[in-house]
Structure 1
Amino acid sequence: MIPFSSLYLLFSNLLGAVYRRGNLSFSKDGNSVISPVGNRISVFDLKNNKSETLPVSTAKNITCVGLSPDGNLAILVDEDGAALLISLITRAVLHHFHFHKPVASIRFSPDGRKFVVTKENVALMYHAPGRNREFNAFVLDKSYYGPYDETTCIDWTDDSKCFVVGSKDMSTWVFGAERWSNLIYYSLGGHKDIMVGCFFEKDSLDLYTVSQDGTLCVWESDTELDGLVLRKTRLPAERGEEEERGEGEENEPRGEVIRGKGERPKEKEGTKNVRYKQRSKHFFNKEGDFNNLTAAAFHKPTHILVTGFASGIFHLHELPEFNLIHSLSISDQRIATVSMNSSGDWIGFGCSGLGQLLVWEWQSESYVFKQQGHFNNMAALAYSPDGQYIATGGDDGKVKVWNMTSGLCFVTFTEHTSSVTNVTFTSRGFVIVSASLDGTVRAFDLHRYRNFRTFTSPRPAQFSSLAVDPSGDLVSAGAQDSFEVFIWSMQTGRLLEVLGGHEGPVSCLCFSPVQSILASASWDKTVRLWDMMDSWQTKETLRLTSDGLAVSYRPDGQELAVATLDGEISFWSPQSANQTGSISGRHDLKMGRKETEKITSKQSAKGKSFTSLCYSADGESILAGGQSKFVCIYNIREQILMKKFEISCNLSLDAMEEFLDRRKMTEFGSLALVDEGVGDGDGVELSLPGVRKGDMSSRHFKPEIRVSSLRFSPTGRSWAATSTEGLLTYSLDGALVFDPYDLDLDVTPASVRRQLRQAKWAAAIVLAFRLNETALTQEVLEAVPHHQITVVCGSLPDVYVEKLLGFIASALERCGHLQFYLSWSQSLLTQHGQKLKTRWVLVECGRVHLSLCPVTVWNVVVFICLCVLCSCDWNMYTIRYAVALSKQKGVKRTAGDALCDKDESEDSEVMSEDSLEETDMLV
């Protein structure tokens, strides 16, 4: 049975999807960008090159994100108007709220005390949540009416006194956040299309407005911000027509209501109202090639306006002169959102059509960050042998390789011309093999990032399955149209054998880990075992109860698991060809009802099944997923369900709910069958019947939730699955899971600290690892004197050496005691390195799992070494630049000073080279 702690696998990260829809936001320091991905948000650290998906999710896809000025709070709003207030420090949900209508934009005031939400044709201003605990964190202050159509964009003045709202009725409204006597509201026109952006000038009431047809208007105010006069408090009976109090929809309090009108407010005695005049008007589409302007952002300190267009081009202009600084095409699809960081150096772009996220540094004209997920659904995944990389193949014909440490894609192979159906790594981990429906099987080299082998069949065939033998010398692929299995040599690239015998498409292939036997599952209700030593003759034929969909060998090769179309998982003995057990998992799938289905979910579940299987490292459990939002872990011996993971709760996907809303059911069918509009598209097209992949030939559709592939990590601490949402990873969280090792009654934190006070360092470390608490282990290690490290490492039992190396690898990433932990790793590898190497060889022969802690330590040290070298080089070149600059300015320097500088520069170069050599020797 798998360890008890393995059942506490928690959501870790979402890969393969970097942007879906909504607005991008930069953190306060400008080094991180927050991107909405479906019903979750991902934080990309641009400095450290890492990504993290927060463990919070909304009911539907997120449409807008509001970030507080201090960067501690964020408000997430989904398609229906349901909002979550989350803390970016604790990653926890603080408050739930519902606006009851879709929200187009949300923006905090610069002082962080209020925020404005645009909903339909009204702008709602709320008091921002404070530090005190409140039952209702969102308190409505004022409701602003004026536009006749939906509001689209918001901006605040720098002192939070006023805000501006753009609308689809081609008007712009300036409202006062306080009770100003000379500015209640002001309406601006001048445009012929939908408003995309409206921005205040820095420390001014001057405005810039941008519309969808590519028109920029510059508005000048006759009043400064200091000229706003606060109105005296009046009794309710004395309120004018512009102000009232009341209740909104569903008896919701609306606070103070301000209603804007077509004419300007009347001026009071002794007070002159704020007035605007149009100073200039500029056009983006000057060449005659009309291009819709889809996104805009303005950086107030540098007066730079960034505009994105539907053709994937963006422009940089300096305002108010409208001087073009830069123009570049970054995508083939429309730019959905634009954002700038606090310094104005980096610009973030999001393209929802291709799922692209880009960060551009406009001064150096280079990419800081560039990521793109699979355009269509992911079809397959594979872990590298060391568990550091994941290769994915998608319906867009691309093979991507993801780094599990950073969560980012570092190479994409685009040689396939059709959907990729399967991917796998060779045993050494340096080669990726992929099969595709274009009739080719390709091998990619991860050293040179190139396609060095292409395997084809004598007759064109669509390959639906793939397997590589444990030695990495043989490549096999199954065809779904010719029902044959092809065997190639990796060394020569030649076709060795064509195996015939199946009467249906070959759905899955798997090599035995310990024998030269290939298992193939097919839709003809059989699994065939092919013996390589016997000229690839059929050794056994296993008769199934239904079509075979997936097959997997146990790690020791003594058992075979097969998933069939009737929802069952059967277990077979490869030696005797007898069935040893079965699990009926149809009731565990619990598939929901699609909106277009005319039968109930109970009837629909009869046609659902598992499509992917994977054994755990110990072979006691099996992971199964398929046409459902659930991934199940079964115990094979007891044949029971141990854990069921719900990979998504996003109601924007289809088949999520068991029962449909009866209010949408009519005598002519469900209202979901009506193609309602285009959203952000440019036209309406009818859905083609039978289309199940791609964009469905419709601008409005809901993708169906399903799991296409899943795998356990070689380290045993995580598993990954490709689904409609993307590449989901679940792993053990050491900070949340209490996972003791060899626990006893006398193993307590008090006893650990007692051993520390008695200077029994080795015993204290052993007890700390038996409790397996990260904070306590770090406290014990950092209490050991530096001169005692060698002695302690020599007295540690072998079983704790590997645990200590793993802890050091994680501590090096988060702690600043670099030399201290490097001394620990040096002593451990010096005294126990030969034992670890010998054990590695024994493990490779016996096929037993081994933690790859030395490799992890090596990767962390190399990364730190590169960072230090970059800093040293930067300092050295900066000093040289300062010296050269001083010479140009005519500063007199003696020859002795110049000679000393030259000697120091040479010494610094020698020191940097020596430090690199010492680091390599140390590791």
Structure 2
Amino acid sequence: MKFAYRFSNLLGTVYRCGNLNFTCDGNSVISPVGNRVTVFDLKNNRSDTLPLATKYNIKCVGLSPDGRLAIIVDEGGEALLVSLACRSVLHHFHFKGSVHSVSFSPDGRKFVVTKGNIAQMYHAPGKKREFNAFVLDKTYFGPYDETTCIDWTDDSKCFVVGSKDMSTWVFGAERWDNLIYYALGGHKDAIVACFFESHSLDLYSLSQDGALCVWQCDTPPEGLKLKAPRGWKADLLQKKKEEEEEEEDEEEGERETTIRGKAMPAEQEKVGKVKYSRLAKYFLNKEGDFNNLTAAAYHKKIHLLVTGFASGIFHLHELPEFNLIHSLSISDQRVASVAINSSGDWIAFGCSGLGQLLVWEWQSESYVLKQQGHFNSMVSLAYSPDGQYIVTGGDDGKVKVWNTLSGFCFVTFTEHSSGVTGVTFTTTGHVIVTSSLDGTVRAFDLHRYRNFRTFTSPRPTQFSCVAVDSSGEIVSAGAQDSFEIFVWSMQTGRLLDVLSGHEGPISGLCFNPMKSILASASWDKTVRLWDMFDSWRTKETLALTSDALSVAFRPDGAELAVATLNSQIVFWDPENAVQVGSIEGRHDLKTGRKELDKITAKHSAKGKAFTTLCYSADGQNILAGGMSKFVCLYHVREQILVKRFELSCNLSLDAMEEFLNRRKMTEFGNLALIDQDAGEENGVAIPLPGVRKGDMSSRHFKPEIRVTSLRFSPTGRCWAATSTEGLLIFSLDAQMLFDPFELDTSVTPGRIREALRQREFTRAILMAFRLNERKLAQEALEAVPQDEIDVVSASLPELYVEKVLEFLAASFEESRHLEFYLIWTQKLLMSHGQRLKSRAGHLLPVVQFLQKGLQRHLDDVSKLCNWNRYNIQYALAVSKQRGVKRTLEPLDTEEDTDASDDDSLHLLGIAADDEEEEGMLV
């Protein structure tokens, strides 16, 4: 299907809130990102967001010991049982309350959740399909305040629970006779974390004030005894036992005088009970009350304790001696979550205030992963010409470049001192141009990663948009306050001209891809077309019925689309300045109602409009988005809504629901006006004299869902949107779709394979692409011998050439038959190149898709060749050095001196030209 775009990945946001987890092999980090979960593969350098979402932000994630299952719980208490192997939801469950943490037992048979002041133990779901995957086993009471953390013993016999009432409770997972529960005190603040020692009941407890208590148990795990059963089971067992004893007494006749029953039961119970004693108490926090302990993790095998604080500092200690290994600062925000991988080499830190995720190798003191999203919301985005990279600009003044294949940000530019309002690539793809509210337009080089041009105006002004012409020589930016358009030269950096004429702020700029014509949209209800070659004069002025918010040219430059304030999209012919169509999008936008709105969502939609537009790669469709969770895809010629995409279902964001929740309305007003967490700032309580619940003036707000920018990939295979959630990627999902082309009853898989056996390759390829199944098309193409590719490609009809090229472009993404598909591509373009020129605009997305795959392979192969070349040079240098050492003769001749010089060059990593050619690996 042409419009089968599905959610593919989430970039720009790496951590929001919740707990981090490492997979069993220790190579991947599972990070909760809002109401989604992203898996960062550190070994293969990829990030992948699971295709599932919860109703609210994720609070905690529990991972099974084998790494196949995960329990994801959101802020509302709703849980998803997820299979990480098949990336799908297996079961839905609601815990009917806010869950703080969830943890599987090491044997994988049970899991415990902390909810309120209780801990509940459930039977873990098995490998077979079950009607109810979560079965409650026991409920444990004890703490008076909310429970915060869980940890299990290695044998799954006991678990420990920490609470905000400064107590730590040890519970038995089974009905032990000598351990039902045990309460530990000794702290003066809420418990943050508690950990059992390996193969022992000894444990450590850490409180928010930075105190660490070491507890020793007098009973080993093997000393726990099962409690005797009661009721009818006990009577039955007792009866069997008495019968056995009577039989033994009759046989032996010597045991009639033995006393049955308990001798001194009270003393026996006292002797057998498990007891704890505090061995030591240490203090981690040395910077005062405002640097509270916020997160901790413990690795039992290497006895490594990692603690994170509210100031961004973390400590590494070796227990039980409490030896300090490291003390470093990773940010100025609180460390919200800490995790250690199975080998104990990598430590993951999550900072919710900055949206930062770090993976640190503590032994080598180096970063394995360091990613951070935009601090505030993203505002604009742009695709590179080959579709490999995406650049985003945010309100925090940062410009980030993301790799679409790996999903990671590989460079961040921080030169702007205020919010970035527009970003764009030049046609070469090596230069990024950005505009900002700080009064500068900057050009960044992606080869050297530097800001090599800074364009400014004669008097300070705030730039709201930026555009670069197709040649990359002219840069233009629109002003927000002076209503002018500034034009600079990329080569010299000089201001060429100032275009005036608009009577309102400039809201959008766009260059015609085929001509040097600039279109500018303004709040003065006009769109002006400026000719860059004819003395910068206004060519045409297009009058609109409302304020213009966004403008976009079709990829072939033959049409212009304008989004206006009255929720319309107006289409113009730029050559004749004639309106050719319009779309009424007010009912399609479907805005939601905010919590504090006094009017309904239907009435608030009248004031909302599309704020960003983008044509598809073939120019037949247009994407539109605005202050809504929906993105609309329209067919331009038919002017109808083709599909509406929902970007988010996260109710933690504002303006998501269409109707007001009546349960939040009271006779005194809306409950949304009352902040439930006013006593805490970023999870850290603020003590004030005379105030019991903290600072009552502190406030938090729910960010509103909105779409700030939309862009189609030049390849046409995906599109991206910047929203409150982050950078969302939607791509074509052609794996599970049956989309035939000119199919009839004579085309079957059997007849395709029969044609291949008869060596009728052209007929087999045509039938395979009519059936349009990827496996069959691959089988038909790869069955063609290499020396017959030229003949077969020349015999293909022109209608099928585009489909074969598209298949080849998709094959470059995953196949390893690189040379074979390169030959196919070359023969097709050489045979049909002249005839395809007439459809150049329609074939442009396919060609760019091909270019993207080839460029990626070129980068990979060039890196491999450079690495092999370096290794060969190093091997030559080492061998020559050993040869020089073995030679005992002095170097007197001039030739020998030159040779020694070459040896020294080799040792420095520099090779002569002839040796470079020998060392090249082709």
**Deviation at 1:132?**
2.0
**Deviation at 1:266?**
8.1
Map residues 273-288 of structure 1 onto 2, 5 A cutoff. Answer: 273-286=273-286
Secondary structure at the aligned position of 1:796 is classed as helix
Tell whether the 8 Å contact from 2:20 to 2:338 is kept in structure 1 after alignment. yes
Secondary structure at the aligned position of 1:107 is classed as strand
Residues 781/914 of structure 1: CA separation in 2 closer, same or farther (3 Å cut): farther
Residues 812/520 of structure 1: CA separation in 2 closer, same or farther (3 Å cut): closer
For structure 1, list consecutive stretches of 5 or more residues without a partner in the other structure.
240-264, 686-696, 885-904
Residues 740/48 of structure 1: CA separation in 2 closer, same or farther (3 Å cut): farther
In structure 2, the residue matched to 1:122 is 118
1:11 equivalent to 2:13? Answer: no
- Give, as a single letter, the amino acid of the residue that structure 2 aligns with 1:308: G
Residues 78/846 of structure 1: CA separation in 2 closer, same or farther (3 Å cut): closer
Distance 1:165 1:872 in 2: 57
What per-residue deviation string (whole Å, max 9, x for no partner) do you get for residues 873-922 of structure 1? 999999x99xx9xxxxxxxxxxxxxxxxxxxx99xx99x98998454xxx
Secondary structure at the aligned position of 1:180 is classed as coil
1:180 equivalent to 2:182? Answer: no
**Deviation at 1:868?**
9.3
Distance 1:875 1:169 in 2: 65
Distance 1:87 1:640 in 2: 39
1:533 equivalent to 2:533? Answer: yes
- Give, as a single letter, the amino acid of the residue that structure 2 aligns with 1:81: G
Distance 2:111 2:66 in 1: 13
In structure 2, the residue matched to 1:97 is 93
Distance 2:72 2:825 in 1: 48
In structure 2, the residue matched to 1:726 is 726
**Deviation at 1:566?**
1.0
Distance 1:839 1:382 in 2: 32
**Deviation at 1:866?**
4.7
Tell whether the 8 Å contact from 1:426 to 1:470 is kept in structure 2 after alignment. yes
Map residues 373-522 of structure 1 onto 2, 5 A cutoff. Answer: 373-522=373-522
**Deviation at 1:89?**
1.4
Distance 1:399 1:322 in 2: 43
Secondary structure at the aligned position of 2:755 is classed as helix
Tell whether the 8 Å contact from 1:551 to 1:563 is kept in structure 2 after alignment. yes
In structure 2, the residue matched to 1:351 is 351
Secondary structure at the aligned position of 2:588 is classed as helix
- Give, as a single letter, the amino acid of the residue that structure 2 aligns with 1:367: Y
In structure 1, the residue matched to 2:156 is 160
**Deviation at 1:766?**
4.7
In structure 2, the residue matched to 1:59 is 55
- Give, as a single letter, the amino acid of the residue that structure 1 aligns with 2:511: F
- Give, as a single letter, the amino acid of the residue that structure 1 aligns with 2:682: D
In structure 2, the residue matched to 1:23 is 19
**Deviation at 1:485?**
0.7
- Give, as a single letter, the amino acid of the residue that structure 1 aligns with 2:110: K
In structure 1, the residue matched to 2:736 is 736
Distance 1:92 1:326 in 2: 40
| Correspondence for 2:682 among 673, 680, 683 | 680
**Deviation at 1:864?**
6.3
Distance 1:486 1:91 in 2: 50
TM-score (norm 2): 0.86
**Deviation at 1:618?**
2.7
Distance 2:919 2:372 in 1: 35
| Larger Rg over CA atoms | 2
What per-residue deviation string (whole Å, max 9, x for no partner) do you get for residues 404-430 of structure 1? 111111111100000000101111111
Tell whether the 8 Å contact from 1:790 to 1:827 is kept in structure 2 after alignment. no
Distance 1:835 1:918 in 2: 32
Map residues 417-816 of structure 1 onto 2, 5 A cutoff. Answer: 417-676=417-676, 677=678, 678=680, 680-682=682-684, 699-741=699-741, 743-760=743-760, 763-779=763-779, 784=783, 788-792=785-789, 795-797=792-794
What per-residue deviation string (whole Å, max 9, x for no partner) do you get for residues 318-356 of structure 1? 111111112211111110000011111111110000000
1:46 equivalent to 2:48? Answer: no
1:200 equivalent to 2:222? Answer: no
Distance 1:211 1:449 in 2: 44
Tell whether the 8 Å contact from 2:761 to 2:792 is kept in structure 1 after alignment. no
Tell whether the 8 Å contact from 1:802 to 1:853 is kept in structure 2 after alignment. no
In structure 1, the residue matched to 2:903 is none
Tell whether the 8 Å contact from 1:734 to 1:774 is kept in structure 2 after alignment. no
Tell whether the 8 Å contact from 2:618 to 2:842 is kept in structure 1 after alignment. no
1:853 equivalent to 2:855? Answer: no
Distance 2:84 2:871 in 1: 32
Secondary structure at the aligned position of 2:363 is classed as coil
Distance 1:534 1:870 in 2: 51
1:35 equivalent to 2:31? Answer: yes
Q: Which moved more, 1:740-749 or 1:719-728?
A: 740-749
In structure 2, the residue matched to 1:77 is 73
1:143 equivalent to 2:153? Answer: no
Residues 869/430 of structure 1: CA separation in 2 closer, same or farther (3 Å cut): closer
Tell whether the 8 Å contact from 1:808 to 1:857 is kept in structure 2 after alignment. no
What per-residue deviation string (whole Å, max 9, x for no partner) do you get for residues 749-786 of structure 1? 2223333444555654554344333344455566x49x
**Identity over aligned pairs, percent:** 66
Distance 1:332 1:417 in 2: 19
Tell whether the 8 Å contact from 1:555 to 1:847 is kept in structure 2 after alignment. no
What per-residue deviation string (whole Å, max 9, x for no partner) do you get for residues 2-50 of structure 1? xxx2211101111100000000111111111111001000111101111
Residues 506/133 of structure 1: CA separation in 2 closer, same or farther (3 Å cut): same
Secondary structure at the aligned position of 1:588 is classed as helix
**Deviation at 1:842?**
8.7
Distance 1:863 1:616 in 2: 29
Distance 2:871 2:164 in 1: 50
Secondary structure at the aligned position of 1:6 is classed as coil
- Give, as a single letter, the amino acid of the residue that structure 2 aligns with 1:680: N
**How many positions carry a matched residue from both structures?**
848
- Give, as a single letter, the amino acid of the residue that structure 2 aligns with 1:791: E
What per-residue deviation string (whole Å, max 9, x for no partner) do you get for residues 728-751 of structure 1? 111102312334455443332222
Residues 845/101 of structure 1: CA separation in 2 closer, same or farther (3 Å cut): closer
Secondary structure at the aligned position of 2:728 is classed as strand
What per-residue deviation string (whole Å, max 9, x for no partner) do you get for residues 544-575 of structure 1? 11111011112222221111111111112222
**Deviation at 1:133?**
1.8
Q: Which moved more, 1:839-848 or 1:30-39?
A: 839-848
TM-score (norm 1): 0.86
Distance 2:490 2:873 in 1: 48
Residues 774/187 of structure 1: CA separation in 2 closer, same or farther (3 Å cut): farther
Secondary structure at the aligned position of 1:70 is classed as coil
Residues 35/876 of structure 1: CA separation in 2 closer, same or farther (3 Å cut): farther
Distance 1:426 1:740 in 2: 38
Distance 1:205 1:421 in 2: 58
In structure 2, the residue matched to 1:133 is 129
Backbone CA RMSD of aligned residues: 3.3
Tell whether the 8 Å contact from 2:513 to 2:557 is kept in structure 1 after alignment. yes
Tell whether the 8 Å contact from 1:164 to 1:175 is kept in structure 2 after alignment. yes
What per-residue deviation string (whole Å, max 9, x for no partner) do you get for residues 274-320 of structure 1? 11111111111246686211100011111111111111111111111
Tell whether the 8 Å contact from 1:762 to 1:792 is kept in structure 2 after alignment. no
**Deviation at 1:831?**
4.7
Tell whether the 8 Å contact from 2:809 to 2:849 is kept in structure 1 after alignment. no
Q: Which moved more, 1:16-25 or 1:494-503?
A: 494-503
In structure 2, the residue matched to 1:894 is none
- Give, as a single letter, the amino acid of the residue that structure 1 aligns with 2:856: N
Secondary structure at the aligned position of 1:302 is classed as coil
**Deviation at 1:542?**
1.6
Residues 324/389 of structure 1: CA separation in 2 closer, same or farther (3 Å cut): same
- Give, as a single letter, the amino acid of the residue that structure 2 aligns with 1:116: V
